[in-house]
Amino acid sequence: MESLKKIINLNQASKISGYSQDYLGYLIRNGDIKAKKVGRGWATTEEEVNNYIFKQKVRHEKFAIRGFFSPSRRNNIFLITMIFFVGVFGVIFYITNFQNSNDIATGGAVNKTLSSDVEAAAVIKQ
């Protein structure tokens, strides 16, 4: 509490933060919020209260991120990713093999047509 520009009592701090005066006193005694004893009550700054609230929000977001990548969720993400890749590569494999088997099933009709055109051209030249 180096800068004592705007000193507030716990009643004002509770209005700013939404925490009760008792809880703020607990936080002060724990060392989470810097304050000084003025008479029988505590005095702190608005900046200290806002810093504590900001730290709590950041801490909560860290836990939210950690919860997002929890072991069970990480396993589910891995499983879904593997299913996706197996499906994509399976479709690619199927398409490439289907085209090859289609050529075999037609008996190479495309090649026969080309070869008959070449033969026809050879006959015309003769």
Cβ(41)–Cβ(85) under 8 Å?
no
The tally of CA atoms less than 13 A away on the side-chain side of residue 78 is: 7
- The encoded tokens of residue 121 equal 């051209």
pLDDT confidence of 115, banded at 50, 70, 90?
low
The class (CATH top level) of 7-68 is mainly alpha
How far is residue 99's CA from residue 61's CA, in Å, rounded to a whole number? 51
- The encoded tokens of residue 60 equal 């909560």
The predicted model scores a pTM of 0.46
How far is residue 119's CA from residue 113's CA, in Å, rounded to a whole number? 10
Taking only the tens place, the pLDDT of each residue in 26-77 is 999 999 899 999 889 899 999 999 888 888 877 766 666 666 677 778 888 8
CB neighbour list of residue 59: distance below 8 Å, 6 or more residues apart: none
Q: Which residue has the tokens 């499983």?
A: 79
- The encoded tokens of residue 23 equal 């809880």
Mean pLDDT (the chain) is 78
| pLDDT higher than threshold 60 for residue 106 | no
Sheet of strand 36-38, all strands in order from the earlier edge strand to the far edge: 7-9, 41-45, 36-38
Domain boundaries along the sequence of the chain? 7-68, 71-125
